[in-house]
Amino acid sequence: MSNKDLEVIIATDCGSTTTKAILIEKKGDTYRQTFRGEAPTTVEAPFEDVTKGVLNSITEVEELSGRKILDGERIITPNNGNVGADIYVSTSSAGGGLQMMVAGAVKAMTGESAQRCALGAGAIVMDVLASNDGRADHEKIERIRQLRPDMMLLSGGTDGGTITHVVELAQFLKAADPKPRLGASYKLPVIYAGNNKAHDQIKAILGDTTALIITENLRPSLERENLMPARHKIHDIFLEHVMQQAPGYPRLMKMVGAPIMPTPAAVGTMTEKFAKANKFNVLAVDIGGATTDVFSVFSEVFNRTVSANLGMSYSISNVMAEAGLANILRWLPFDIEEQDLRNRLKNKMIRPTTIPQTVEDLQIEHAVSREALRLAFDQHKALAVGLKGVQQERSISDAFDQTSSGASLINVMRLDYVIGSGGILAHSPRRTQSMLMMIDAYQPEGVTRMAVDSIFMMPHLGVLAQISEKAALDVFYHDCLVRMGTCLAPKGLAKEGQLIMEWEVTGSDGSRQAGELRFGDIIHVPFAAPKAKLVAKPVKGFDMGAGSGNRVEADIEGGVVGLVLDGRGRPFNLAKDPSKRRDDLNKWYKAMSMYPL
Amino acid sequence: MAHAYTPGLKVMPCTRLVKKRLLPIPGKVLAALGQQVDSLDIVAQTELPGKVFSVNVANRLSVGPEEIQGYMLKKEGEAVKQGEILAENKPFLKWFKTSVESPVSGTVESVSFITGQVLLREPPKVLPIKAYVKGKVVEVTPNFGVAIEAEGTFIQGIFGVGGETNGEIAVAVASPDEDLQPEAIKEIHKGKIVIGGRHASLATIKRAVEMGVNAIVVGGIHDRDLRELLGYDIGVAVTGNEQLGVTVIVTEGFGAIPMAEYTFKLISSRNGENASVSGATQIRAGVMRPEIIVPGFPKNVTECKKDQGRGWIEPGDPIRIIREPHFGVIGTVKSLPPELTVIGSESHARVLEVTLDGGEVIVVPRANIEVLEK
């Protein structure tokens, strides 16, 4: 079908708990999301058939829209009047998503490349094995045996180089005889993307005991990373092996008009399309109950990481364990006993569907969320390093630099746009809460626009972008993004109360706002104009992106929050004295009208 | 009549339940279809492949990997004992002789002439699976195990640590709001399932380990004590493999929370009888809660119901509030207003009205209550 024929699209995302369906219709020249429905995901007993949840969610769309989409268990195509849809597409993260184990010869080189490759394909990386990962050989073998991944990615060595390490890894893998997570009777798929000189040996070692797939080396030379061939193989195997074993997926695969994508891969695609269309550096985050996914596009290089145990319900206690209680307590504008806080967080972990009923409880969740976002961002910065992605050359010195310093591609001064999704960001009672949580976690510098994906539509749009980029971007701009506004944060440090910037904003609707920003203050200016011109004049010692003391003119966006002028300085540190820290927090929360008094 | 879906923990005087007892890898099933089994009977067994150890013979002998063939004294598949020589060189002067000994007893798994590595595998380990509950085998999965149908009192906790165990129920407190004190645990409790009331402290749990208690069941524990006990924070609720020396089950949550009276009365009614308990908890993907199963009927029960799992609540149902500011409070559903209501945090949520013991009526989000299933 040509894109011209696409008028009605039905899309679903099969999440681990909920299956969400959206209807997209072409209105004039523009695609708009018109109706949505949701139903519990039905991958687990007693249903064990993902299509049941899909059909239920589509039925809800039918009821709301009045459009007949289903004929029994079949989607009616093409659309004709008020019946049918032109295409049905879907993503899936149900049943734990795509779980992989990766291996590389040297942890910081091929190990890291293999990790980036698997993450970019939408996988959760259960472990990274490497010859030099510090574990004894028998410990590595035990680890391979314990984990039951969906597939494994084995890399190591540059083309034509030494084969010893990668052959050794293959031998360990064979000795461990790992079993796949689903379908005990089938062989574990292993993708080999290492030294091409070792193909024969790898086949001899793993050919009989695993479902071995050999592809191009993901690190053909020290200076070059070539992730796409292995990434494509991961997607192929996801569809051919993993999906075939998951309950009901063979049927779902027959229903769709385009290949099913792992949910994170689709979100990544949408982030990339948005960044490319606007020439933006973008950071997108999806903070869920169990995991936090971070996507970034900086200088056109895409990276994704998933922090598998940082989340707001199932993993809330792990956020406490990783961040430390002190780091959670520092965001609270009141005193709370350590024992009380510990018990509260554990009670949320064991009853993950409960919601905060009091403002105090809400503030505790917001404190945890800042730390989960911060930790996931730290992990992202650590992996989004050095290499300039697919088919990009770098010098040998860069390659060594990467291993030693891990210089990140992420530069918060050059960050143009932040998109947040996940319950805590998308459904906070006040939007100012979402915006300040992201500002506190990411500490953007200079000029940064911010939005939330209110109903987590990015997966649907990412898979749709494979068919029609226009449809995906239309809906993304008009229905998916809730623009919050822009954060203006001069980089530098000064004494409290000192003038650090003069600013003026003129909206496309002619509205004008201007003022001064003093160190230690936050100023919230409600400002809804979708487009505006900013003139910022930071004082000497403060940088808004054009160097210390230099005037900046920029295009910015207003939104449901407006402008947030963050005068807390960068790097931003909270006061060490508890009473001063609480006073500061109360002052900033009041300036943002964050919570009811 | 208005009702809302709210999952709750099962507290049932008598029910029929089926427990799957499966091996992680294929093995031999030892129980037959229709067979009556006791909780400690072994129903299936397999051999877990032994641990693998590696020795780089080439490095140890300072020769190239392709050369090690000439120095190996043991071949692939051959048995070796710990300390036995795997390979040695043959120098002109015996002072320069180097021998490579096996670090473990087992068999030679592989010899690589590419890496110079020799992999040794320890003997397999027998992994038996017990019936865990007394009942009848109703299904056999060839090579993997069985499903056992059992009939008895079934009580789910909210969180636990430690694995499966068995023992006689011993109620060690007089009421559900009494704390289980360390001194309440005595020598007679060795090998038993000790039932407390409101709370067990770190000292109490340590005392239980000392006395050889198999499991303790209480309303709540403090997270701080759990951390102290385990030596680490539990980040994600996937438990059951902790080696504490005792299985701990909490019925209400973290903190000092009286055990629900109905739960306490039911367990007390089975005092002195044998129970199967498990602390294994998994909150995500296939929820698993800790459990106490006592075969047979309580004295006052005449009929054993099959678990119907109603799954919703109606006015008049007893519920427990599971979030601040009323955490742990028990009440009765008064009404279920259908419209979204703005709660204290300013969120819009579906709520219910709850009548507390003293007659006071409060409004609580539906997400923050748990139905007390009976």
Please tell me the distance from the alpha carbon of residue A584 to that of residue B345, in angstroms, as a whole number.
22
Residue B93 contacts A, CB cutoff 8 Å: no
Quick one: closest CA in A to B111, which residue?
Answer: A171
**Is residue A403 scored above 50 in pLDDT?**
no
Tell me which residue in B65, B286, B347 faces A355 most closely, judged by beta carbons. B347
Q: How far is B369 from chain A (nearest CA, A)?
A: 8
Which class in CATH covers the domain with range B4-16+151-295? alpha beta
Calculate mean pLDDT across residues A561-583: 95
Number of H helices, E strands in chain B: 4, 30
The answer regarding whether domain B312-373 maps to CATH 2.30.30.30 reads yes
Tell me which residue in A96, A315, A345 faces B236 most closely, judged by beta carbons. A315
Closest C-alpha to B55, from B105, B122, B102: B102
* Per-residue confidence band for A17, with pLDDT thresholds at 50, 70 and 90: confident
**Is residue A400 scored above 70 in pLDDT?**
no
The whole-model pTM stands at: 0.86
Name residue B53's amino acid.
F
Kindly determine whether residue A357 and residue B223, on different chains, have CB atoms separated by under 8 Å: no
Burial class (CB in 10 A: 0-12, 13-18, 19+), A503: buried
**B188 vs A18, higher pLDDT:** B188
Quick one: closest CA in B to A344, which residue?
Answer: B254
How many other CB atoms sit within 10 Å of the CB of residue B182? 17
Q: How far is A567 from chain B (nearest CA, A)?
A: 28
Chain A with chain B: Cβ pairs closer than 8 A: 165
Residue B333: helix, strand or coil by DSSP?
A: strand
Quote ipTM for the complex: 0.87
Kindly state the DSSP code that residue B297 receives in the 8-state scheme.
-
- What pLDDT does residue B374 have? 56
Mean pLDDT over all residues of chain A?
A: 89
Kindly determine whether residue B367 and residue A353, on different chains, have CB atoms separated by under 8 Å: yes
List chain A residues with CB under 8 Å of B311: none
The answer regarding whether domain A3-94 maps to CATH 3.30.420.40 reads yes
The mean-pLDDT minimum among A355-364, A401-410, A546-555, B301-310 falls in A401-410
**Is residue B191 scored above 70 in pLDDT?**
yes
Tell me which residue in A141, A177, A362 faces B345 most closely, judged by beta carbons. A362
pLDDT digits (tens, 9 = 90+) for A232-265: 899 888 877 777 777 888 899 999 999 998 888 8
- What pLDDT does residue A183 have? 65
Sequence-distant (≥ 6) Cβ neighbours of residue A104 within 8 angstroms? A110, A111, A112, A113, A114, A115, A128, A129, A130, A155, A156, A194, A219
Beta B145-156 vs B135-141: how paired, if at all? antiparallel
Q: Which tokens hold the place of B370? A: 């748990």
Which class in CATH covers the domain with range A97-249? alpha beta
List chain A residues with CB under 8 Å of B345: 355-359, 361-362, 429
Question: Residues 158 to 197 of B: which have CB under 8 A from any A CB?
Answer: 158-159
**Residue A117 Rama label (left phi>0; alpha psi -120 to 50; beta):** alpha
Q: Which tokens hold the place of B227? A: 């951390």
List chain B residues with CB under 8 Å of A142: 51-52
Which of A50, A316, A357 to mutate: most B Cβ within 10 Å? Answer: A357
Residue B236 contacts A, CB cutoff 8 Å: yes
- What pLDDT does residue A203 have? 95
pLDDT digits (tens, 9 = 90+) for A451-479: 999 788 999 999 999 999 999 999 999 99
How many other CB atoms sit within 10 Å of the CB of residue B231? 6
How many other CB atoms sit within 10 Å of the CB of residue A327? 18
Quick one: closest CA in A to B348, which residue?
Answer: A429
- What pLDDT does residue B306 have? 62
**B136 vs A40, higher pLDDT:** B136
List chain A residues with CB under 8 Å of B53: 137-138
Q: How many CA atoms lie within 13 A of A411 on its CB side?
A: 12
Domain B52-121, CATH number (from 2.40.50, 1.10.890, 3.10.310, 1.20.1460): 2.40.50
- What pLDDT does residue B26 have? 81
Quick one: closest CA in A to B232, which residue?
Answer: A321
Which of A50, A320, A351, A368 to mutate: most B Cβ within 10 Å? Answer: A351
Kindly determine whether residue A309 and residue B349, on different chains, have CB atoms separated by under 8 Å: no
Sequence-distant (≥ 6) Cβ neighbours of residue B244 within 8 angstroms? B161, B162, B205, B209, B229, B230
Q: Give the phi and the psi of residue A277 in degrees, each rounded to 5.
A: -60, -30
The mean-pLDDT minimum among A372-386, A572-586, B158-172, B198-212 falls in A372-386
pLDDT digits (tens, 9 = 90+) for A124-153: 888 899 988 888 888 888 888 778 888 999
How many other CB atoms sit within 10 Å of the CB of residue B1? 6
**Is residue A342 scored above 70 in pLDDT?**
yes
Kindly determine whether residue B114 and residue A201, on different chains, have CB atoms separated by under 8 Å: yes
List chain A residues with CB under 8 Å of B159: 346, 350
Most confidently modeled range among A196-210, A215-229, B290-304:
A196-210
The mean-pLDDT minimum among A483-497, B70-84, B142-156, B297-311 falls in B297-311
- What pLDDT does residue A395 have? 47
User: In this structure, are residues B52 and B125 in contact, taking their beta carbons and an 8 Å threshold?
Assistant: no
Kindly determine whether residue B114 and residue A167, on different chains, have CB atoms separated by under 8 Å: yes
Calculate mean pLDDT across residues B95-121: 89
- What pLDDT does residue B308 have? 56
Calculate mean pLDDT across residues A346-360: 91
Where exactly are the structural domains of chain B? 4-16+151-295, 52-121, 312-373
Calculate mean pLDDT across residues A169-181: 85
pLDDT digits (tens, 9 = 90+) for A279-315: 999 999 999 888 899 999 998 888 888 887 889 988 8
Q: What is the share, in percent, of chain A residues with pLDDT greater than 90? A: 62
Kindly determine whether residue B236 and residue A349, on different chains, have CB atoms separated by under 8 Å: yes
Kindly determine whether residue A343 and residue B222, on different chains, have CB atoms separated by under 8 Å: yes
Kindly determine whether residue B284 and residue A290, on different chains, have CB atoms separated by under 8 Å: yes
Which of B23, B53, B54, B125 to mutate: most A Cβ within 10 Å? Answer: B54
Where exactly are the structural domains of chain A? 3-94, 97-249, 282-309+331-336+410-591
* Per-residue confidence band for A275, with pLDDT thresholds at 50, 70 and 90: very high
- What pLDDT does residue B97 have? 84
**Is residue B24 scored above 80 in pLDDT?**
no
Residue B345 contacts A, CB cutoff 8 Å: yes
CA angle A191, A193, A196 (to 5 degrees): 130
Question: Residues 108 to 137 of B: which have CB under 8 A from any A CB?
Answer: 109-110, 112, 114-115, 117, 119, 121
Q: How far is B76 from chain A (nearest CA, A)?
A: 13
Please tell me the distance from the alpha carbon of residue A163 to that of residue B119, in angstroms, as a whole number.
18
pLDDT digits (tens, 9 = 90+) for B76-94: 999 999 999 999 988 877 7
- What pLDDT does residue B286 have? 60
How many other CB atoms sit within 10 Å of the CB of residue A359? 17
Quick one: closest CA in B to A45, which residue?
Answer: B286
* Per-residue confidence band for B40, with pLDDT thresholds at 50, 70 and 90: very high
Quick one: closest CA in A to B286, which residue?
Answer: A44
Quick one: closest CA in B to A360, which residue?
Answer: B345
- What pLDDT does residue A402 have? 45
